Structure 1
């Protein structure tokens, strides 16, 4: 029998898909198809040609495009999203064409011009993970981008993709997660300001990145304890990972005077940490140091780095304050390692992430029963697994007991106060929630999550204008804020009857669930945008066929004042959600 040779080649594959295509077609088929044709001819096709791409497959709602270069594929994808947004700016929101895009690089099978194989399948699965207007790329793509573009992709961890045997590490881009665009610089704060860039993982094992990230984050946390410093939040500085951007430009975009960069090399029982403090405007190196230590000394190294920076920037700080603010969280490296792994899982949005985080937090507590932060997160993740504010009373009670015990173990740990505050809020104990949140803020005034929680609590307690002040302050500390911040903006804006702005905030949330879709439906109903309200209601009922406004208000709504609750209930009912 003749041997059939299969044509294979290495390619960068872009999978693009139109969001809500079926709804658009159902609403107005002729208009939608005409709009897609115009968009293709004026934006998409020219960009693909400019970046030397080839359309391998064209469907009504999307396309598979082949590129010979990862850089060209990603540059084309970003240009496509930005060009499409500009092209559709004047189109009513309910009629806009919006893409999701996924990019993979790998071996593909070529058959009659079409592309087949896992390389293509993974690109399609990544596209499904992207938010509307966003891009998701595989880790193999991110590695080839390093140092070649200014595009900022955020590491979202490993994902289990449908019908793909092995998990894939996924990086995501959206206009909300990219580094601030070059434009007017942020004004410098009236105190020394610093951003800690993600320390490079030099261990030779990509899976060890969680460890170098954890070291970086602990230095951020140590610095953030000092009121005399203005410290940029972790995810804003991490957006510059692997980007060839001048230090002065990073400082300008983040609005800080100083930058800290470094690396971590972990080998056996030893670790080498390098760190250097840079004046952003001039690029001058103010201080540099290398630490070769046993892993058992890792906490001492973190303390030493943070203390040296503080003394360099601020001058003399009382030793007692240093010792209070930079305490060792645990004496067990294994427990610390489990905490870092747990936090890495906890920041993901996969179905299994909370369970994986819970296992790591519980393991950390088993290794060190007095590890207060791990115990606090262990309490909170169980609440998250059970619906946050909608968690059953017995779950909230057990979490409260565990989080209170964690605080007794370390009453000066701001995160323990912050987590206990949230659990008290879910238990509708508003005064106690505010008391613990105030204490958390006193202990760590640069904790952006704490500021966001303060804004959230103020909104729930009927002070939405004050809430916006806290929320905006958090966004200054965290210019590349995560999408879940927008939920709290939406809550405050809705109570202020700024329904259009509230709708935009809820729409910016990276994950659309029944909670946010219900809020969006209420906004549209108050604006009398009937079609959009109906679409949001349909999404709620698709996700929760048994949805009831009364049950939603009872379980998931934390508004303390009757008038705020009634305004929301009115919007939900007006939108057409079941009473």
Structure 2
């Protein structure tokens, strides 16, 4: 903590009993030891906020703000003081301060309406109350630690009213319908909390600044948008803003012909919901990575594991499994890490050098079943179950699970891809191709998009379209995080198309990606393929290309 905050309370160089609310050491300009208020404890040595002894996930600047207010408990800390302490020598907007206040309140179980812990002194600044209400402080579900109910772990998003432009009344009708449909579509993602329509509409139309609206709604993200009509064309623009900092993390424009209004709203709400879900996942992974290890809760561990998962490396997969098990240990009733762990185990068997024995597959099935048991309305749980069942050779059950996932959430791009892959394995490549088309349309920047393309190449090849197979396999290899299996498929399809020179040229990059790759290795990893002729066809292409 900076010297001004400590000097204001006369705490530098001496210690106070915790019953008086503070304990700081003699390090000039920076408190040490611990400071207690209500159920919370600030540990200056570990740079940690704890609630009843458990670390609370917190970003460094939010810690500094809470520390500044705590060291001046009962006194109003002016906005100018906060700016000087948190952003010395920098010019930042009022929105940045408002976002930090909101984050501090959230960490302390408070909000802008109750102000049970941090009070706003209008026109002056903020004050940490001398005696925070013990029945309120720490009660808001923000600590994300076990034991916790599932909703206590999840990020919150507010969809604010879409703004129509122009005098055409149709624009207002489309805008309001789009907002409602988008709330409904996003709500199908059970890993996020979506603010109700009435609350979002009431505050979204209040004219208050966005940061204050989000503070009152308790939202981590805001979706805003606009709709314009010009003749028979509709243009819709959407943005996602993240707090703190009111930073735009995603924006996209959609131009469509004006046709049946319900078809238009269905199409746009599903596309926007799928792309927002993908971006929020990436944003939450980055947020978790900024936290100190001691501040990680079940949700943050899950997100860090997901980031490792999407590296598509053997080491990343193993690290993912470790983090998922830690997340489960923190919150045993949190379904998402069970599903991700089950799928990581299957990818370990297929993509890397993990075990392929029945015991391994049985454990993956048990984890996927547990995820479904914890929440039978979660699409991702049924997706994981379907992928486990495919690896076990239970093709009909896999299709049933993936179709259930899509009934629960038609915007779940991974389930469209998984269903397509299973249909190919089941000998129905023509039926699979629309599944891959839908997956790519819903989430064109998905971390798994290389798989959407790579699996699609299988469908084209076994449907007799060699040119399409080569195109999609090559497209998959161009994605930065593409797994080496995508190149293996490209090599086989090029060989079968007669382009042996190109096939040979891709063997060296394949070996760089997987030095031990061989036809025998491929055979051992593709243990789940239903039709032996499909496996032999793939291996024959590798043989023609010179893969040992």
Instruction: Give TM-score scaled by structure 2 length.
Output: 0.46
| Bigger Rg over Cα | 2
Give the structure-1-normalised TM-score.
0.44
